[in-house]
Chains A and B, each alone.
Chain A
Amino acid sequence: QSALTQPASVSGSPGQSITISCTGTSSDIGSWNVVSWYQHLPGKAPKLLIYEVNKRPSWISSRFSGSKSGNTASLTISGLQAEDEGDYSCCSRAGSGVLYVFGTGTKVTVL
């Protein structure tokens, strides 16, 4: 089971919107509506941003949204803020054996 593919880096100016893609296969993202997204800031525990493709925990800002089309999921951050700078990873349920597969990770830079 290979890692899901994400762009290595994405950048944007404050206030802009950015989108991070997460491409898998028909065995993972394409088969399951359980893509989740995590934010990892330096020195902090990873934080759940999105689950089940587009659901947001109550404590997460509405600036974060998720979607999926075919074998590709996406995370959009609207109204980009300096505090959003960090690493972002996607995750999908996979088939038997390796139950979960993560993305290669994307570094978000706020210009």
Chain B
Amino acid sequence: QVQLQESGPGLVEPSGTLSLTCAVSGDSISSRDWWTWVRQPPGKELEWIGEIYLRGSNAYNPSFGSRVTISVDRSTNHFSLKLTAVTAADTAVYYCVRNGVPSYFDWWGQGTLVTVSS
């Protein structure tokens, strides 16, 4: 069974950088072409942040502008999220997700709460 586990600081200061890592087990990260980050702010709906495409260009939600970067480390079976210049609006539970084909998400991490506050 595939398992995904997010890790990273639970508290980030305003204007700082949010960095999260997703450890994938039970599957090689190279077995799928797309891996995704999704978040859910308190009391709001799920929001697609972006995806990494192992064979080419990534895709990001335009609402994040140039603040977001998703990268992968195939040697350690991890992929990561970096979000810069964070504000309180970036407070959310962040999920790492494996993409199914076509266009769905078949395995999710449990999520990690990141709070942006001083």
Contact = CB atoms under 8 A, between A and B. Distances in A.
A57 B98 CA distance: 14
A98 B62 contact: yes
A93 interface: yes
A57 B104 CA distance: 12
B102 A98 contact: no
B102 to A, nearest CB: 6
Contacts of A104: 45
Interface in A71-103: 89, 91, 93, 97-103
A99 B51 contact: yes
Interface in A29-77: 32, 34, 36, 38, 43-48, 51-52, 57
B104 A44 contact: no
Contacts of B47: 102
Contacts of B45: 3, 89, 102-105
A52 B110 contact: no
A51 B100 CA distance: 9
Contacts of A93: 102-103
Contact of A48 (B51, B61, B95, B106): B106
A53 to B, nearest CB: 10
Interface in B87-113: 95, 100, 102-111
A52 B51 contact: no
Given A3-B45, A89-B46, A103-B45, A45 B104 contact: no
B63 interface: yes
Nearest to A103: B45
B72 to A, nearest CB: 18
Interface string A9-20: 000000000000
Among A38, A46, A104, A105, residue most surrounded by chain B Cβ atoms (within 10 Å) = A46
Lowest 6 A-B CB distances belong to which pairs? Answer: A34-B103, A36-B104, A102-B46, A51-B104, A100-B48, A93-B103
